[in-house]
Amino acid sequence: MNSPALPSPTLVADTDSLAQLVHALASDPIVAVDTESNSLHAYRERVCLIQFSTSAADYIVDPIRVPDLTALAPFFANPAQQKVFHAAEYDLLCLRRDYHFAFTNIFDTMSAARTLGWPQVGLAAILDTHFGVTMNKKYQRADWKRRPLTPEQLDYARLDTHYLVALRDKQIQALTEAGRSREAQEEFERLARVRASTDNTGPDPAAFWRVKGARELSPVQAAVLQTLFAYREQQAERIDRPPFKVMGEATLMEIVRRAPRRIEDLQTVPGMTPDQTQRYAHGVLQAIEQGLHAPSQHAPRVERESDEVRDRYDRLHTWRKERARARGVESDVILPRTTLWDLARRPPRSQDDLAQIADFGPWRRDTYGAEILALLSRAAPPTIGPEV
């Protein structure tokens, strides 16, 4: 890791040091924040570290040793303190899921980089370009729940936040010069509102239909996939590992297609390792037998959008792509995909109608409202003019 020598971060691993951190954060109007989770190493991921950087110091909170982080809730909800993240959405979802925090006054340096059309928006690339810091990618896939944490892990984790406030300052200047401050702020406010699409309170009995190729199976094969999928989930939960580390989806599908009835047949399935056979053969064969005698499964019908909705969406999608190409940014910087669908399903006829569209805030209404109203009125496609 090529970076200037920095003071060691402060590890927050007990209630007393957490109280000291809360006191330190309260006096700083701008604080950088990041998290590390263990999604690649556990059945149910959890936040394993929370990093904070103020103008004076770097802090690393260990939620494994300090599970009650209620004292941090006022900081995250305080509108007078700006919380600076890089790629905020995942961190906010994880913190909301594990600790039920509410968020206000977010600044996302990756979102700002995308709004500005920077060619590289990953943190490692930005730190290298703007601060001459090279991050060691070795720890990107680390199991952050394992203890003890090494000094190298702590240093890596600290770098995720140490430069964010300085980066934010650079980006605020760039956004101001480019006339993009209102646009960026509108996106930050959207990120603070994001909620998970599911509540993760329990297994989804229909989740097996999301396996690639599941809808192409016969009803009997689908029933076998359902029981195999449930068995894999049970084993993953039992050993606290992600399901893909028990058995990959391609292997599941191959087992379903072959429906082996003996261990010898299971050993010949592509992707089935000797270790997997030794651990799971009897359970897999029992699941196959159970599936073959279970009621047939028919894929749930997917509600098809009407031709009118599809037509509106296609026109909006083309317009968004042209807008993004002209500006040199990714398409979803112009409008999120969910907003395109909302516009297509509930076509607005006025500026007041536009105000009811999800994530279509004042800046977007001022900038794109007239074009979109014209586009959806079935008039001739509007000429794309300059943004304000």
Evaluate whether 111 touches 191 at the Cβ level (below 8 Å): yes
Residues 179 and 284 placed together within one structural domain of the fold = no
- Confidence band (pLDDT; 50, 70, 90) for 204? confident
Query: What domain range is 264 assigned to?
Result: 207-292
Question: Total domain count for the chain?
Answer: 3
* Cis peptide bond prior to 148, omega within 30° of 0: yes
| SS3 readout for 154-175 | HHHHHHHHHCHHHHHHHHHHHH
Q: Which pLDDT does position 136 carry in this prediction?
A: 83
Q: Which CATH number belongs to the domain containing residue 350 in this structure?
A: 1.10.150.80
Examine the pLDDT at 388 and tell me if it is beyond 80: no
| 365, containing H or E segment | helix 362-376
* Rounded Cα–Cα distance for residues 90 and 55 (Å): 24
Instruction: Look at residue 378 and tell me whether its pLDDT is greater than 80.
Output: no
Question: Is 352 inside a domain boundary?
Answer: yes
| 152 Cβ neighbours under 8 A, 6+ residues apart | 1, 136, 139
Task: Give the C-alpha separation, 199 to 196, whole Å.
Answer: 7
Same domain, 175 and 228: no
Same domain, 281 and 341: no
Q: What is the mean pLDDT of residues 102-112?
A: 98
pLDDT score at 303: 87
High-pLDDT (> 70) share of the chain, %: 95
Same domain, 280 and 333: no
**Which of the four pLDDT bands, split at 50, 70 and 90, describes residue 141?**
confident
pTM, whole model, 2 decimals?
0.90
Q: Does residue 381 surpass a pLDDT of 60?
A: no
171 with 75, same domain?
yes
Specify whether 37 is located in the same domain as 185: yes
Q: What is the pLDDT of residue 384?
A: 56
Question: 3-state class of 204 per DSSP?
Answer: coil
Question: 268, 292, 316: which is the final residue of a domain?
Answer: 292
Confidence of residue 196 (pLDDT cuts 50, 70, 90): confident
pLDDT value at position 188? 98
- Domain match, 242 and 344 both: no
Q: What is the CATH number of the domain that holds 173?
A: 3.30.420.10
Average pLDDT across the chain, whole number: 94
CB-neighbour burial class of residue 123 (10 A; exposed 0-12, middle 13-18, buried 19+) = buried
Q: Is residue 112 part of a domain?
A: yes
CB neighbour class for 246 (10 Å; exposed up to 12, middle 13-18, buried from 19): buried
- Claim to verify: residue 187 and residue 212 sit in the same structural domain: no
Model confidence at 217, in pLDDT bands (50, 70, 90)?
very high
User: What are the tens digits of pLDDT across the range 21-57?
Assistant: 999 999 999 999 999 999 999 999 999 999 999 999 9
- The answer to whether 375 and 316 have CB atoms below 8 angstroms apart is yes
Backbone phi, then psi, for 343, in 5-degree steps?
-65, -40
Given a cut of 70, whether residue 214 has pLDDT beyond it is yes
Per-residue pLDDT, averaged over 95-120, amounts to: 97
Give a yes or no: residue 383 inside a domain. Answer: no
pLDDT in tens, 269-318: 999 999 999 999 999 999 999 999 999 999 999 889 999 999 999 999 99
Q: Are residues 96 and 228 in the same domain?
A: no
Task: Enumerate the H helices of 70-163 as residue ranges.
Answer: 73-77, 88-99, 109-116, 123-131, 151-162
Neighbour tally for 385: CB within 10 Å: 9
Q: Within this chain, do residues 180 and 263 fall inside the same structural domain, yes or no?
A: no
Q: Are residues 15 and 125 in the same domain?
A: yes
Q: What is the pLDDT of residues 118-128, one digit of tens each?
A: 999 999 999 99
Helices (H), 260-306: 263-266, 274-292
283 found inside a domain: yes
DSSP H/E element including 60: strand 58-61
Q: In the predicted model, what is the mean pLDDT of residues 144-163?
A: 95
Is residue 300 in a domain?
A: no
What's the pLDDT tens digit per position in 219-255? 999 999 999 999 999 999 999 999 999 999 999 999 9
pLDDT at 195: 86
